[in-house]
Amino acid sequence: MEQRQYSIKCLLLGVTFALGIGVIPTFAQYPEAIPPYEVVNPYVPSKMVFAGDTLDLQRADLHERIDRELITFTFGHTTTLLMFKRANRYFPVVEPILKECGVPDDFKYLMVIESNVDIWAYSPAGAAGLWQFMPATGKEFGLKIDAYVDERYHVEKATRAACDYLKEAYAKYGDWLTVAASYNAGQGRITTELAKQQVAKATDLWLNKETARYRFRILAAKQVFSFPRMYGFVLHARDLYPMLPVEKVVVSETISDLALYAKGKGCSYYMLKQANPWIKGNVLPANASRPVTLLLPIAAEWEYEPTSTIPHVKNWVVD
């Protein structure tokens, strides 16, 4: 009997929910209720320029693909805010190298989506650093990776290695968005799919979900970084992470204890590692024939000053 009564109660409750009879309050029932906020779809441009090429985004499939990524950037508040903050520290290093190497400036946004501009980024697959090099690819393009150092975390060297990869791919494809796709999927895969699907550019390829989204994530990153307030991001200069003051020091003999070395130079081991994230442990081999250049923190100038001049604000900030 109790089981039967319980079943009847469940049935009545289900009918009540289905009919919406006084159980779930609606706006019609309570017109004075005001939503706590409104979620507005981010602006989707009809066209975008990437590396000098104009991409028409009015085609339905292209519109939907960029729309998705703009939504992700706009409402992924924590990640996107941190991207802005970190980019202020690393863009001033990366941009001149891209220019010197003849790679379009827009490829800094490839770095943005690869690592969220996190110098310590490390993927489950083993990719590391701002440019997310896999070990084999890093070594192929001249990065030193051994028991003591991992230059995938070296901002300048990794950026130059990325430029070498990008230029090599451009010589093959002649299209920068296809180059971007190859950075994610590999040149072999992109070349095979272009031939198989009989198209000239990666924009028209049917690829796995990650690679298919990749190029549009780059475009979305550029759009949000170019017009932050349009997408709801209001920053002040004091919010951005400044470049850390350092001086270059050439080391021509092995440092057997980096913590002790740092202390002797007036900084902490943490500060030394922060300035040189490519050093793996507490020992750094070097000799006269193969000297190593360290960035030595100027400890007295590491105090954060919210009103200090930030070198790379562009149009990100409101003051």
> What is the residue-level pLDDT of the chain in tens, covering all 319 positions?
555 554 555 555 555 555 544 455 565 666 667 777 788 999 999 999 999 999 999 999 899 999 999 999 999 999 999 999 999 999 999 999 999 999 999 999 999 999 999 999 999 999 999 999 999 999 999 999 999 999 999 999 999 999 999 999 999 999 999 999 999 989 999 999 999 999 888 878 888 788 889 989 999 999 999 999 999 999 998 899 998 899 999 999 999 999 999 999 999 999 999 999 999 999 999 999 999 999 999 987 888 776 666 777 778 888 7
d(CA 304, CA 274): 15
Task: Evaluate the CA torsion angle 52, 54, 57, 59 in order and state its sign.
Answer: negative
Q: Which amino acid appears at position 71 of this protein?
A: I
d(CA 87, CA 72): 18
Q: Hey, what are 113's tokens? A: 């989506």
Strands, E assignment, 86-238: none
Taking alpha carbons only, the member of 142, 148, 233 closest to residue 131 is 142
User: Cβ of 232: how many Cβ atoms within 10 Å?
Assistant: 13
Per-residue confidence (pLDDT) for residue 268, from 0 to 100: 94
How many CA atoms are closer than 13 Å to the CA of 189, on its beta-carbon side? 15
d(CA 113, CA 118): 10
Place of tokens 């779809």: 41
Per-residue confidence (pLDDT) for residue 21, from 0 to 100: 47
DSSP state of 30: -
Using CB atoms within 10 Å of the CB of residue 14, give its burial: 0 to 12 exposed, 13 to 18 middle, 19+ buried.
Answer: exposed
d(CA 131, CA 152): 8
d(CA 273, CA 177): 35
Per-residue confidence (pLDDT) for residue 309, from 0 to 100: 67
Task: Give residues with Cβ within 8 angstroms of 195, minimum separation 6.
Answer: none
Crossing angle of the two packed helices 209-226 and 77-101, in degrees rounded to 10: 90
User: First and final CA of the chain: distance in angstroms?
Assistant: 73
Cα 314 → chain centroid:
18
Per-residue confidence (pLDDT) for residue 205, from 0 to 100: 85
